[in-house]
Each structure stands twice: as C-alpha cells, then as structure tokens.
Amino acid sequence: MRPLLRLEGVEAGYGAARVLNGVSFDVGAGEVVALMGRNGMGKTTLVRSILGLAPWVRGRILFETRELRAQPTYRIARAGIGLVPEGRQTFPNLTVRENLTATATPGRSGKEPWTVERVLTMFPQLGERLRAMANTLSGGEQQMLAIGRALMTNPTLLVLDEATEGLSPALRQEIWACLAMLRRQGQSILLVDKHVAPIRRIADRIVILEKGRVAWRGSAGGLTDDVLNRTLGV
Amino acid sequence: MSRAVLLLAAALFVVLLAAVPAALLLDLPYLLFLFQQLAILATAAVGLNLVLGYAGLPAFGHAAFVGIGSYTVGILATELPGTLFTSAWVQLPLAAALAGLVAALIGAVSLRTRGVAFLMITLAFGQMLYFAAVALERYGGDDGMILVAPSRLGEQNLSRGVLSYTISVAVLAVALYVSFRLMRSPFGTVLRGAAANERRMQAVGVAVHRYRIGAFAASGALCGIAGVLLANHTAFISPATLAWTRSVELAVMVLLGGAGTLFGPLFGAAAFVLLEEVLSGVTEHWRIVFGPLLLLVVLAAPGGIAGLLGRQSND
Amino acid sequence: TRERGEGVRIGFVTTLTGGSAAIGADMRDAFELALDHIGREMGGRPVTVVYEDDGQNPDTGLQKTERLVQRDGVHFVTGYIWSNVLLASYRAGIDGGAFVISANAGPSELAGVQCTPNFFSTSWQNDQTPMAMAEVMNRRNLTNVYVLAPNYAAGRNMAAGFKRTFKGTIAAEEYTQWPDQLDFAAELAKIRAANPSAVWFFFPGNYGTQFFKQYAQAGLLGQIPLYSTFSIDALNLGQIGELVAGSQLTQHWGADLPVAANKRFVDGFRAKYGRTPSFYAAQSYDSAMLIKSAVDATRGNLEDRDALRAALERANFESVRGTFRFGRNHYPVQDFHLFEVVRASDGAYSLKLGERIFAAHADPYVGDCPIAQQAAR
Amino acid sequence: MTLFLEQALNGLQLGVLLFLLSAGLTLVFGIMGIVNLAHGSLYMLGAYFAVTFTGWTGSFLLGALAALLATVIVGIVLERVAIRGLYDRPHLEQVLGTFGLILFFNEGARLVFGPAGLSLAPPAWLSGQVTLLPGVVYPSYRLAVLVAGIAAAGGMYWLVARTRAGMLLRAAAANRNMAEALGVNSRLLFLAVFALGAGLSGLAGILAAPLLTVRVGMGEEVLLLAFVVVVIGGIGSIRGALVAALLIGVLDTLGRAYLPGALRFAFAGPVADAVGPALSSMLIYFAMAVVLVVRPRGLFPTSARTDVAA
Amino acid sequence: MRAVDKAAVLAEPLLVARGLTKRYGGLVANAGIDFDLRPREVHAVIGPNGGGKTTLLGQLMGEIEPDAGTIALTGADITALAVPERVLRGLARSYQVTSVFPGFTVLENVAFGLRARRRTTSRFWRAARTGGELGEAAAAILRRVGLSGRSGVDAAVLSHGEQRQLEIAIALSTTPKVLLLDEPLAGLGVDEGRRMVDLIASIAGPIAIVLVEHDMDAVFALADRITVLVDGAVIASGAPDAIRADPLMRSAYLGEDL
Ligand SMILES: Nc1ncnc2c1ncn2[C@@H]1O[C@H](COP(=O)(O)OP(=O)(O)OP(=O)(O)O)[C@@H](O)[C@H]1O
Ligand SMILES: Nc1ncnc2c1ncn2[C@@H]1O[C@H](COP(=O)(O)OP(=O)(O)OP(=O)(O)O)[C@@H](O)[C@H]1O
Ligand SMILES: [Mg+2]
Ligand SMILES: [Mg+2]
C-alpha cells in the first residue's frame, strides 16, 4: 500500500533546542496510526512539523506525493490534512456555528461529507450552543468543537492531538466510537493520545516517541505490557 | 543585565558629566541645554517605564503628569512669588505628590479596563488635562505662560547653568536608582508577575489592582519631578507639554530604548533627542528618515536598544 | 563670549512642517530674496542665516531659539508666526544676547507692560487689523454683527480689537476649538439661525479656507456678508478666490501698494518664485531690511548693542509699506488700508488696494509700555 | 427647534464621516489586532489624492475613484513592507513602528504635494443646498456624505458579520496559526483586509476633502477621534463603531452648539468663552472615560472567558 | 429538616456554599448549588462537559460573581470577598488550563505565593530575595511536587507535565486550607498522571480538596465523596461506591470503560 503520509528523518525544534532527532514512519491510506509517549517527548512538535507550524524542520515529509516541508501551512491543510490541535484552539470570537463553517471545505467524492448536521448528531450538546461564542464554552465543549471543525474540512488525513483530553468518560467513549466508525469508512487518521485501551482497539499501528526518537513501533497487537512499561511507565 | 547594557549606560553618564567641563571650556552652552533636556526627558521616561514597561500597562497619557509638575512651578511662581513656595525644596515634593496623586486617581479608574481600552482611557484622561490646561486663562490658556520666578535653591535657582544641569542629571540618576530598587523589590516582582499572568497573581493572594495604582503613583511622581525641572529648564509652561503627541513621544522613547528594562528609557531618550538634533541639523525633512528608522527598530530589534545589546533576565 | 568670526548671524524660527508649513515657506523665501537684494552683506560683513522649524509648537520654538543663540551664536532671531511660540521663545533669544524681531506674531503682552527693549516687531499688533475692519464696518453703519474667532490668544486679541472699535451691536460671539476644529457646521447653523446683518471673523491660513468653503456650501455666502481679518491671503487666494470674490478686508500691506521698495520686492518675489508674496512674506522681507539698516548704521559693529538698538528703533530703511516707524513699544506705527478681492483678466484673483482706513496707527497698548524712546541720534 | 434639527443632522454627518474612518480602524485594529497609528495618514493621502486626481481628470467622481484606488495601492504596499512584520508583535511595538510611519507619511506628503494646504470644490451638482423641512436648509454635499457613509456602514456590517470572508478574518485574527492549519491563507486575507481598511480610510479622506483644507497633519486630528469611536463602540465591533461614531458626532456638535451658551448662564462672559470651547473639546474624552468606567469593554463588547481557553 | 441540616453542616464543614447560581443569558451554568467540604476531605465534583464544574470553582474562588447564593469559609461569610482576600483566608486553586508565570523561574513562581502569605509583597525597597527562609520554604514545596531539579528554569520552557506540577506548587505556596483543583490530570501522560494522583494524595488531609476531574480512576482513587453536576444542578452526591453503583451515573456520565 502506498503511504499517505511519510516521514523520513524528521528533525525539528524551537530556537536552538532540538526536540525531534530524526523520526521516520508512515501512515498508509485508510490506516489509523497512534502516536504515544510521555509528556514532552515531542508528539505535539511532530504534529506541528507536519503542518508547517514548528519553527524549524529538517528531513522529508511527504503527503501523497508532495513534499510538505517548506510549504505554507494553509497549503498543507488544503492538501487534505485536518488538525485537532492540542489545547483546542477554537476561534474564541466566532460562534460555534461559525467555528464549524468558517473553514469548512466540501467533501471529497466517495465519502459521506461532514456537515454541521452530521457533527451535531455526534455532539448534540453543541446544538444547543450553536449561537454562543466559542470562548464561552466549557473546556470539553470546546474540545468537541475542535473535533467537529477539523471534520468539517473533510480531510484525507485527520490528525488529532490529545483530542479526548478534558472530555467526560462517556463522551470520550463516543469519540472513540466515532473514530472507529471513521476508520471503517476508510478515513486515515494520525492520533496522539494517552489512553492505551482504546488505542489498542482502533489503531492499526502504534509509534512511541521517546526524547524525539521512535522508541518503539509496531502493530497494536505487539504493544505488550512490557513495552508499555518500558516506554510509557504504565 | 548584559555587560553591553551596563557599559552603554555608564558611557552615557560619563558623557553627561563630561559635558559640564566641555561646555565651560569650549564655550558650548547649547550642549548643556540639549543634554539637560535629554536628562529630564529620560527621567520622565524612567517614570513611564514603571507602568509601561515593568507593569506591562500601555499608558499613553503621561505627558499630563509632566505638565502637572510644570504648572505647579508656574502657578506657584505667579501666585506666591517670593514665598517659601518658590523653593525647589517645596516645589519638587509638592509636584511629585500632586502628579502622583492625580496619576493614582487616573490609574484607579483606568485599571478597570485592559489592553487597548486601557491605552485609550489613559489617553483620554491625558487629553482632559490638556484641555483643562488650555482653559487656564489666568495662566496663559492656550498660549502658555512665561515662568517668572524659577525654583529657588538656596541662593541659586534651577533655571539655567551648571547647577541646574547637575541637578537634572542627579535626578535622573536617582530616578534610575529608585526604579532599580522598586523593580527588584517584592513590589516590583508583583508588578512584573502580574504583567505575565494577572489572574494567577490574584489567585496567590495579591490584590494586583493596588500595586498597579502604586506603580501609577510612583510613575506619575517621577514625571511630575521631570515637569518641575522642565519648566525651569525652558522657563516656559504651556499646554503643549501635555499634548497627546508628547505622551506618544515619551512612550516611543521607552520602547525605542527597551520597555521593561532598567536603562531602556535612558537609551531611548538619548537616541530620540540626539537623533532628532543631528538629523534635523542635516535637513528639515529629517522625519522622512527618522520615521522609517523607528519602524526598522521595531522590525529588526524587538526589545529596542537594550534588547539589541543582549537580553537580560527580567529587568 | 559670543563673538565668533566675522559674519552677521541671523536665526529664523518659523513653521516649516505640519499644516501651516506654507506660511513658513513664504517667509523664508522672502527673507532669502531680501538677502539677494542686499547682496548678503550688512555693514560690510557677510550674512549667514540659520532657518529652524518650530513645528507650530511653543516648546520646539523655544528649543530652536535656544539652539540658535547658544550654539550658533546668532545676533538676531527673527521669524515667528505664532504668538504662543513667540511668547515661549523671546526670553531665550534676548537672554542669549540676541535681538528678537518678530516678523508676524504680534501679541498684546509684548506691546504693553511687558514690552522689552530688545524685542521688535515688523508686523503689527494683533488688535490693529481687526480694529481697521471694525472702522470700515462702522463707516457702513453695520449693526448686529456675528463675531467668530478661534479660542487662542491671537484669536481673542483680534476679537478684542474688533469689539474695541466696532460701535454697532454684536449679535453673538463664538470662540471655536483650536487648533483642531474639523468642521464648522455647528457654528454655521447658529449663524443662519441668528441671521445677523454681517459676520466678522478671523481664521488664519487653512482654517480660513475651510471656513469660506463651508460657508459657501451652507448657502450663506450670498446671504450674509462676510468681513474677515487675516483669513484671505496670497497663500489661499488661489484656492478660494472664486468664493471670496468681491469680499473686503483690511491690511497694512498689499502687493499693489505703490511704493518703490514694494515693487522691487513683489517683482523680485514673482520672478524668483513664480507666485505673489503674502503679507507674511512682506513682513519677513522688511525684517531683513530692518536688520540691515541697523547693522549698516553701526558699520558692522555688533558689539555696541545700545547703538544697534538705537539704530533699530530709527527703522531707517525703505519698508515695502512705505512710511514705517516704531512706537515706544517697538511695534510699527503704520497705515491700514482696505482691500478687495478682484478677478484679473487672466482669471487669477488678487487683492486690490482701496481706501486708507487708518493713517499712522499705533496699537492700543503702547501707552502701557514703560520703555522711554531713546533720543534719535 | 429647526436649529436643533439642523444641529442634530450636522452631528450625524460628522458621525458618519467618523464612522468611515473608524470602520477601517476597527477592521485593522479591532479585528486584526494592529494598532495602526498611520491610519490617519491614509485618510490624509486619500484627501491629497482626491485633490490631485480631480485636478487631472477634471471630474470629482473620476478623481475620487482614482484616489480610492491609489489609497488602496498604498495600503497594499504598506502592508507588505511594514505592517506584515507587526502582526505578531505586542501593541506597544506596533505603536512605535506606526508612529514612525506617521512621520514618514507627513514628511513625504509635504515633499510631494507641497507645504500649502490644498482645496477641493465639491462637484457642481452637489454644491447647492436642499430644503429638507421648511426652515431646515442643508448643504447637498453634506447630505451626500451622510448617504455614502451609511451605505459603507451597511456594506461593512454585511461583510464582516454575514460573509464567510468576515468569519475567516475574525478566525485568523484570533488565532492565525490555527486558521492556517485549517487552510486559510491568512497572509492574503490580511493583505486584503488591510487594503480594505486603507480604502475606507481613504474614502473618508476623499469625502472630507471638499469640506476641509487638505493638509499635512489632518490625519492626526482625526486619528484620536477614530480611536475613541472604536474603543467606545467595543473593539472589533462594526455595529459598535457605527453607534459610537454617531454618538460622538452628535455629542461633539451639540456640545459646540449649546455648551458655551449654557455656560454663559452660569459664568461671566469671558470665563464662559474660555471654558466653553475647552469643555466641549473635553466632552468626547469625558464620554469615553465614562463609557469605559461603566462598561470597561465598550458598548458592544465581544464576550470572553479566560478560565478554560488556552 | 433543612434547618437542622444546615446547623449541623455549619458546625462542621470548612467550606459551605448555599444556593449558588450563575446564569449566562438564558443558560444556567450553576442552578442553586448547595455544596460543602469537610476538613481533611477530598470532595470530587464530576459531571458531563459543560455541567458547571469550572463555574462552581470560579464562584468558590471569587473569580465569578454569583447571581445568587452564599459562600462561607470556616464559618465566615466570604461571598463578598475578592479573590486575594479569599486566598489569604486559605483558599487556593489550580486551573483547567495551565496558568503559571512565564518569564519567571520555577522558584520565583512559588515565591510569589509565599510572599503574599507572609504579606511582604508590598515591600518596595529591599530586594526580593529567593534565599533564606523563604527559599527553603519554596524548595520544600518544589520537592513535594517533584520539581526540585528545575527550580532555576524559566517556567515557560517546562514541559506540559512539569507545568501541571508547578501549577500545584503555586497553589500550595499560599499554604491553603482548601485547595480547588480543576482537572489536574488534564494533558498528563499515564505515568505522569499517576504521579499527580500520588501528589494529590500526599497533600490531602491537612488540606481539604475539591477535585474536578474527568479521569475516573483518579477520582475513585482519591475521593472521599463525590458530587455529580449535570446542567448546573447537583443530581447526586455521596460516597464513591454509591455513585459508582448508580446505574443512572453509569449510563449518563461514566460510560462503560470503567
Ligand atoms: N514553544 C516552545 N518553545 C520551546 N520549547 C518548547 C516549546 N514547545 C515545546 N517545547 C519543548 O519541546 C519538548 C517537546 O514538547 P511537545 O509539546 O512536542 O511534547 P509532547 O510529546 O506533545 O508532550 P505532551 O504530552 O505534554 O503534550 C518539550 O521539552 C517542551 O518543553
Ligand atoms: N462566560 C460565559 N458566558 C456564557 N456561557 C458560559 C460562560 N462560562 C461558562 N458558560 C457555559 O456554562 C456552562 C458550564 O461551564 P463550565 O465551564 O462550568 O463547565 P464544566 O463543567 O467545567 O465543563 P468541562 O468539564 O467541559 O470543563 C457551559 O455550557 C458553558 O458554555
Ligand atoms: Mg503534546
Ligand atoms: Mg471545566
């Protein structure tokens, strides 16, 4: 299978500080890859590197057939990458509906496109608050909004950075169910999360980062307690 | 604080002091006039920096506090000539107290707002004081007034000459020292910490508002003192001293030198005054060079001159 | 300690930037023309002039004056458009050992009790020109006049001068914000409502232009006659000539005053700069000539200040306004004339000299001035 | 009564002019977060261009159109050269940088257009007066300004509040990186908005040119007023800017019309004459201070919550 | 019945809220909440997103002004007190989103609270020292949260987990009697989360804690009592086991991955 996203020896950092020390892995089309690691190991930096948001990046990042590095962020996004960023980052001065529609892009053929209605069936709670400014939402509501917003760009590759953070257990489960459903529909996903059990259930492959390097990589089945203990301290 | 910053500050003071013998020996009275103006403006900028730089509050009405200092001298000289009230020993503390008090009041009201609204409300208060000065018909109204009696200092006075010059430089040094003490004291760290995270500062039990009003008062008082010196220096007091463009110029000095750094205001005032002097000597169109120069500083050297000379940890 | 080299050094403080820069430019150009005419020489010495911009700001004017006397060691400081700039600066000039010669600003302060030996004016005292205008209006038996002036010292002086002489009733007095009033709509509406028989006003330079335009747009132009002072001059006539054609004003000088010195000045100015000089320019030209007359009289001796002062007081030069002498307070005693805006055959507008309103008129403050006139030597 | 009506109309007209000025400012300053002191310079340039181009073309409409275009082009160049570098900077640094721009534009205008003030006549078909009501005669040009301003206000409101471009703009202004990460070309967007703001400011200058003397420094006179309007209205709120502009226009005009008279009741003539204009100048600043004290975030604040947002 | 209840409560608890109400337009974020915290207790507040938990903490802390209701701390009414005054009476909180002092070292971050507590923040002439007794106190707090090695580092460059630890340290620096924690585990990895649970357990006891958290493992590990907020109202309150057993809870909030 031709990889959708390919990282080759990616290095990145802030100022002089290097955070990523040569990371390589692929995300295949239709595949769900989970990125794990302790705090501060570089997961978010990696996500930012893909989207051209890290201050500096070296190495190769290929999406479909395009080299992403040195492209402006908006082009990367328009190439079909939808981001749910760490820390939600909803647009505070837009209403919930505007947050969803402002950056929405029409769906690519072959998949059921995401619309406001479809997002609301997943997060009915947002429906009650469609006209509220995003900055009045609770933390969890903002998280839902961030997910909905990324889906509304109908991305080829959905990238979620700690998308279940701050969600209630029930809602968290719904998110996992939704991701599982997306996977069944052939959506490619790169996700960063700390919840081992659901990741085991839905990820095809898992990459674990440690100090900016890939410490372990393999199929979900191969993620033994031993590995977990060694890399995540679980 | 970086070495380069210290060196430059020391060099500036050496130049300020060396100007006295130089002016006397080489017969360059204008040098003293110019440098005294620099020292006075730098003192006001040091005052403004307490609020604008350290406390991170974009105050744009500080020319009014300088004006309060100036009008204090002017009005006392007109109303109570020959009394105790024309003594510098009375006028300086009185002007400082008055300007500090008005600053505290304005601060207390303005601090209800944040950010750009704060900027505008301080500017609005500055404008109100400006128009109040214009309405002082008895003291020249829009025309301003000539200072008939400079502040007395024993047998001498603050109007002109080496004594007045030396005092202005000394006041600048004291202002810098006060700023230094204030800002590394617990009070100062609270101000800087509140600039970094106001809500958190409240939540560790500090009533930020009060400290900021205190900073306003101190800053207004320094500006008031600068105003006393300025009135004596120019022997003329007019509403133009309180104009909003003056407030902006003061802020530009602070920012040009490096807001929130000890010596930034000094550097900024020096750069501003000297550049204006030199460039305007070359061409009357000097602003066409000076303006883009300011822009360039912002684009190329965030943190102003002090920033250019090396980042310092927190002051 | 101010003797440095041979030449006569003159400082010229005026407004070269901002909204009123045109006035400053006119004054500077006239001063340069005067220097051309006198061969850049006074009393056998070369003349150097340093022009400084006051930005229409008293503080800046003071600083520049300070710079002129202290750094450049000038013997004379002249220029000064604005009363407040002059008031801020003249002490510094005099204390710095220079003679201060205002070429425009004429505040009442320096004409009365505060008059001072080393200050001279080649223009007029603020009250005089409006007094002449009031005299004209008296002669026409106008009553119920609306008075309008900006709220700053010159504006108040002018209004005071007008009211001192005007005998009719005053419909209303209005003082507008200065210097930043954008719009006169509120005042114009009030004028329309008051329906006076005439309006007298003073708005200098650009403000005058603005007022005339809005007056015309409000449809008042044909309805209520306008009498103005210092609001129409060679600088704005090109812009508003059409609006103010036929309108009358008083002035101490006009480009068509039939005086030999004036012809030389006006022709020279037109030839050199391709435009008609304003009264600001005329005063500036005169100030150069005045200085020359004094330096010539002392044969270039700049040290004998009493002699210089006495020579200045004699004003022994050919003024562009004809006869010219100083009063005790060192303000001119001069004629005032009526002028009318006319359209020439080439379509350009100009000021045409009319009758003389005042002859050898002295300002009303001169009596308060304690200076005793020195005996003419 | 008719006088009051006329004064109120004068106030509205001034308000509309102020709105045009502050509409551009609200876009650039309220929404994009740029404190652009040089906003007034664009107003000045618009006026200068209008005089120049009307002179060249002989037609006010053509001249105005060309002037608008020219101001927009200046805006575009300005954004690329200077403003772009200021987006991610603290407000204070923006103040410093754009203060430099004021100096540059003022001096540049003086060099290019000369030191003398310039004047522009309104087109012949607008130089008369209309009788609105018996006894209320109003200059047609001022009426035209009123109409043009209201049209621009409507357009702006529609653009920012109702269109996707407006949404994207607000999104990008709040969080540029995030907007980019969702496919928004924020550079282009900001450029377009800045140009639009410049155009609005230029339009205000063009419309004001026949009323005023066009001269260096006219920008700073109105800059403060425009900032006052934006802040009173609530930063970033078009609706707020409209309401505040009208409020300030009416307040200023009525203050000038009635305050001195009212003061004369209370004080002796000369005192009232001196205090009146000063007090009416102070009036709008006083109004702003009062509004901000009562409603620290302006009349139409955009609400905010800080305890959970990153 | 109610009066008796109230009397009993007033005698005992540290923190008592009665009828706390907060509306935003039509939305009722807190609808007449009665809440209390007893000495030595960890009282968890859970509930779906938007249930009103953060709003409740905000009102307890004084950052959000209640539309109705009263709050008392150790028997004294504090409803009208501003945030700093409440802090000086023993309240402290952490935030859902990390809220530290960037640009200041970790040690200085903690020193702010210590000085406020010692009421030395208004000293304006002597230098603010971070040595001596104050330094030792700060070091002790940093040791407690596991940040000893990082005391000289700028808080802005700490990793997310470390910032969460610092967040707790800052809250502890005011020597609170009552600590309000808003999702202290948010953003922490499994390992770091576990350490945070240990940390909270270690400070609990002398300090009574209100814990808002979505991580149920942590909640059940730490809580002595649990209150459930849904749509701004308390729908259940009681011992952890009772809450866990509540079938309504399971379906409505906890989901199945318990
Ligand atoms: N803006 C920044 N400037 C400097 N250093 C940074 C910045 N952002 C992150 N870092 C550092 O980069 C390293 C990696 O951070 P990153 O956010 O990528 O980690 P992470 O794996 O996503 O952690 P977490 O699970 O806490 O989100 C950390 O050591 C962090 O301190
Ligand atoms: N300033 C505000 N303006 C309008 N609505 C608000 C405001 N603050 C909170 N709300 C609303 O009040 C409700 C409760 O918010 P709160 O933050 O207390 O929830 P929470 O229980 O902490 O949720 P989460 O678990 O997601 O953090 C939410 O629906 C939120 O949108
Ligand atoms: Mg991360
Ligand atoms: Mg919450």
Q: Does an H or E element contain A114, and which?
A: none
Give the residue on A whose Cα is nearest the Cα of E159: A40
Q: Which of A40, A87, A167 sits opposite E49 (nearest CB)?
A: A167
Ligand nearest to the CA of E29: 2
pLDDT of residue D304: 52
Cβ burial B299-315 (10 Å sphere, 16+ → b, else e): beebbbbbbbbeebebb
The CB of E27 under 6 Å from ligand 2? The reply is yes
Chain D segment 57-116 residues within 8 A of C by beta carbon are: 106-107, 110, 114-116
What is the band of D262 on the pLDDT scale with cuts at 50, 70, 90? Answer: confident
Q: Which of B46-55, D55-64, D159-168 has the lowest mean pLDDT?
A: D159-168
Euclidean distance between CA atoms C93 and C2, whole angstroms: 13
Q: Are B260 and B55 in contact (CB under 8 A)?
A: no
Q: How much is the pLDDT for E11?
A: 47
Q: Do chains C and A touch (3 or more CB pairs under 8 A)?
A: no
Residues in A closer than 8 angstroms to D165, CB to CB, are: none
CA D221 – CA D229 distance, rounded (Å): 14
* pLDDT at residue C167 tops 50: yes
Distance CA C165, CA A205 (A): 100
**B181: which chain E residues are within 8 Å (Cβ-Cβ)?**
124-125, 127
Rounded to an integer, what distance in angstroms lies between the CA atom of residue C144 and that of residue C149? 16
Confidence of residue C123 (pLDDT cuts 50, 70, 90): very high
C-alpha–C-alpha distance, residues C315 and C293, integer Å: 7
pLDDT for C2 beyond 90 = no
pLDDT at residue number C287: 97
Task: Supply the pLDDT for residue C260.
Answer: 95
**C-alpha A77 – ligand 1 centre gap (Å):** 22
Ligand 1, atom 22: nearest CA belongs to which residue? A44
Q: Which residues of D touch E96 (CB under 8 A)?
A: 307-308
Distance E257 CA to ligand 4 centre (A): 21
**Residue A5: which H helix or E strand, with range?**
strand A3-14
> Is residue A140 lining ligand 2, measured as CB closer than 6 Å?
yes
The pLDDT of E159-166, averaged and rounded, is 87
Q: Is C113 exposed, middle or buried (0-12, 13-18, 19+ CB in 10 A)?
A: exposed
Q: Which chain C residues are closer than 8 Å to B284 by Cβ?
A: 16-17, 51, 53
DSSP-assigned states of every residue in E133-191: HHHHHHHHHHHHHT-GGGTTSBGGGS-HHHHHHHHHHHHHTT--SEEEEE-TTTT--HH
Q: Is the pLDDT of residue C3 over 70?
A: no
pLDDT at C318: 94
By residue count, chain D amounts to: 310
pLDDT above 80: residue E196: yes
E92 to chain D nearest CA, in Å?
15
| Mean pLDDT within B105-123 | 89
Per residue in E26-71, pLDDT (tens digit) is 889 999 999 999 999 999 999 988 899 999 999 999 999 999 999 9
Mean pLDDT of E183-211: 91
Q: Residue C351's pLDDT is what?
A: 93
Highest mean pLDDT among A42-46, B26-30, B79-83, B140-144: A42-46
Whether C and E touch, i.e. at least 3 CB pairs below 8 A, reads as no
Which atom of ligand 2 is the closest one to the Cα of D304? 1
Among the bound ligands, name the one nearest to the CA of residue E52.
Answer: 2
At A109, is the pLDDT very low, low, confident or very high (cuts 50, 70, 90)?
low
- DSSP calls for chain E: -HHHHHHHHHHS-SEEEEEEEEEETTEEEEEEEEEEE-TT-EEEEE-STTSSHHHHHHHHHTSS--SEEEEEETTEE-TT--HHHHHHTTEEE--SS----TTSBHHHHHHHHHHHHHT-TT--SS----SHHHHHHHHHHHHHHT-GGGTTSBGGGS-HHHHHHHHHHHHHTT--SEEEEE-TTTT--HHHHHHHHHHHHHHBTTBEEEEE-S-HHHHHHH-SEEEEEETTEEEEEE-HHHHHH-HHHIIIII-S--
Using a CB–CB cutoff of 8 Å, tell me whether D286 touches chain B: yes
Interface test with E, best of D305, D306, D307, D308 (most E CBs within 10 A): D307
Ligand nearest to the CA of A132: 2
Asked whether the beta carbons of D239 and D233 are under 8 A apart, the reply is yes
Report residue D167's pLDDT band, with 50, 70 and 90 as the boundaries.
confident
Closest CA to C156 of C113, C99, C109: C109
Contact C369, C112 (CB under 8 A): yes
CB contact under 8 A, B294 and D271: no
Q: How far apart are CA D142 and CA D205, in angstroms?
A: 14
- CA-E55 nearest atom, ligand 2: 18
Best of E60, E97, E180 to substitute, by most chain D Cβ atoms within 10 angstroms, is E97
Closest chain B CA to residue C52: B284
Domains of chain D: 2-309 (1.10.3470)
Residues A55-73, mean pLDDT to the nearest whole number = 90
User: B5: helix, coil or strand?
Assistant: helix
pLDDT at E129 over 60: yes
Q: Which long-range contacts does C341-348 make (Cβ < 8 Å, 24+ apart)?
A: C341/C232, C341/C237, C341/C241, C341/C244, C341/C245, C341/C246, C341/C247, C341/C248, C341/C249, C342/C245, C342/C246, C343/C241, C343/C245, C348/C238, C348/C241
User: Is the Cβ atom of A229 under 6 angstroms away from ligand 2?
Assistant: no
Give the ligand whose atoms come closest to the C-alpha of residue E189. Answer: 1
Ligand nearest to the CA of E26: 2
Angstrom CA distances, D219 to A25, B192, D78, D209, D307, stand at 58, 35, 16, 12, 40
Model confidence over A140-155: pLDDT tens digits? 889 889 999 999 999 9
CB within 8 Å: B205 and E102? no
Asked if the Cβ–Cβ distance from B284 to C57 is below 8 Å, we say: no
Interface of D with B in 70-109 (CB under 8 A): 82, 85-86, 89, 91-108
Residue with tokens 């905000």: E58
Q: Would you say residue E5 has pLDDT above 70?
A: no
Residue scoring higher pLDDT (A125 or E8): A125
Residue closest to D26 by CA, chosen among D245, D289, D183, D214: D245
**Minimum CA distance residue for ligand 2 atom 2:** A136
Checking if the pLDDT of D177 tops 80, the result is yes
- Contact state of E101 with B186 under an 8 Å Cβ cutoff: no
Q: Which of A98, A103, A142 sits opposite D179 (nearest CB)?
A: A103
Q: How far apart are CA D53 and CA D61, in angstroms?
A: 10
Helix (H) or strand (E) holding A44: helix A43-50
Q: Tell me the whole-structure pTM to 2 decimals.
A: 0.89
- Residue D3, pLDDT > 90, answer no
Q: What is the pLDDT of residue D270?
A: 67
Note which residues in 236-255 of chain D have CB less than 8 A from chain A.
236
How far apart are alpha carbons E45 and E35 in whole angstroms? Answer: 10
**Residue bearing the bigger pLDDT, B291 or D304:** B291
Put simply, whether E128 touches B (Cβ < 8 Å) is yes
Q: Chains with 3 or more CB pairs closer than 8 angstroms to A?
A: D, E
The 10s digit of each residue's pLDDT in E200-257 is: 999 998 999 999 999 999 999 999 999 999 999 998 899 999 988 887 777 767 765 4
Domains of chain B listed by start with CATH number: 3-308 (1.10.3470)
pLDDT category of residue C23 using cuts at 50, 70 and 90: very high
Average pLDDT over residues A188-209: 93
* E183–A38 C-beta distance less than 8 A: no
Q: Quick check: A174 pLDDT over 90? A: no
Asked whether the predicted pLDDT for residue E125 surpasses 90, the reply is no
The arithmetic mean of pLDDT across residues C298-302, rounded, is 91
What confidence tens digit (pLDDT) does each residue in B21-36 have?
888 888 888 889 899 9
Instruction: Report the b/e string of E152-178 with b at 16+ CB within 10 A.
Output: eebbeebebbbbbbbbbbbbbbbbbbb
Nearest to D33 by CA among D83, D96, D97: D83
pLDDT at C1: 38
User: By the 8 A CB rule, do E90 and E76 touch?
Assistant: no
Average pLDDT over residues C353-364: 94
C17/B241 Cβ within 8 A: no
The residue contributing the CA closest to ligand 1 atom 29 is A40
Say whether pLDDT at C366 is over 70.
yes
Task: Enumerate the residues of chain B whose CB falls inside 8 A of the CB of residue D103.
Answer: 287-288, 290-291, 294
**Pairwise pLDDT comparison (D92 vs A47), residue with the higher score:** A47
Q: Which residues from E are below 8 Å from A144, CB to CB?
A: 49
User: What residues of chain D, 155 to 214, have a C-beta less than 8 Å from chain B?
Assistant: none
Which pLDDT does position D293 carry in this prediction? Answer: 86
Phi-psi region of B258 (alpha: psi -120 to 50; beta: other; left: phi over 0): left
Q: How far is B214 from chain E (nearest CA, A)?
A: 10
Average pLDDT, chain B: 91
Which residue of chain B comes nearest to C157, CA vs CA? B143
Cβ <8 Å between D260 and C205: no
Minimal C-alpha gap between A234 and chain E (Å)? 6
User: Which residues does ligand 1 sit against, CB inside 6 Å?
Assistant: A 14, 17, 19, 37, 39-45, 86; E 157, 159-161, 187, 189
Q: How far apart are CA A38 and CA E187, in angstroms?
A: 10
Chain C: list its partners (3+ Cβ pairs within 8 Å).
B, D
- CB-based contact, B177 to chain E, within 8 Å: no
* A92–chain D Cβ distance below 8 A for any pair: yes
Contact E120 B184 (CB under 8 A): no
Mean pLDDT of E115-135: 81
Which residue lies with its CA nearest to atom 25 of ligand 1?
Answer: A39
